[in-house]
Each structure stands twice: as C-alpha cells, then as structure tokens.
Amino acid sequence: MKHTVEVNGIKLYAFHGCLPEEGKIGGNYIVDVSITTDFSKAALSDNLKETIDYVFVNAIVKEEMAVRSKLIEHVGQRIVQRIKSELQLAESIMVKVIKVCPPINGDVNNVAIIIED
C-alpha cells in the first residue's frame, strides 16, 4: 500500500546564497517534505517505529539548512540524501526549499526548488 507523510512549512532562518551579504545577513526559508512510504503496520499497531517520524524529518531539515550553501539546490539535495540514508521506510521523497524575498532586484515573494527522488 502507498501512503504519504508530509512535513510542510518548516520555517527557518539560514545563510544560503551566492552574494557575500547573504552569508552574513541571512534570510527566511520555508521547507516542505513529502515522503511516500507504507505505514500500514503503524496504522494497525500505533507504533512510531513502523512509520516515518516527522520529528526526525524536521531535525534533518534544520541540521542541513544550518550548513551554508551558495545554492538552495545544494541544500535541498543534502536534505534528500540524508532522508534516503537515515529513513529506510522512505520509498520516494519530495523536498521543496523556498527562499523568501530573494535579493534579485525585483518584486518577488519567493523562489523555490523542488527535488523528487
């Protein structure tokens, strides 16, 4: 059976970007994670070990977002790789990293990347 566990709207302050100022000043980010799995056993047993622990997913995102990258593509890929390597129940993963109010000389709410694995 196919199920999905989502952790959406993880709000973080981080220091990603190609401009030197972004490394010093930082900015706001939002991360969404969607993991396809089979949590049939957990639905019957009420046992956290038989599903995706969204507290752990949140911790992975926070840890990887704390490591400075020039590109949100890079940090997004690190999040995907960590989830793949540390959560064996994950069948497929989607990570969306949103950079709020990017410094791109325009009136833009955000930019985002999406990685599906």
d(CA 38, CA 52): 9
Are the C-beta atoms of residues 77 and 115 closer than 8 Å to each other?
yes
Are the C-beta atoms of residues 60 and 54 closer than 8 Å to each other?
no
Annotated catalytic residue, options 11, 41, 62, 99: 99
Amino acid, single-letter form, for residue 90: A
Strand partners, 97: 31, 113
Q: Is 99 a known active-site residue?
A: yes
Active site residues per annotation: 99
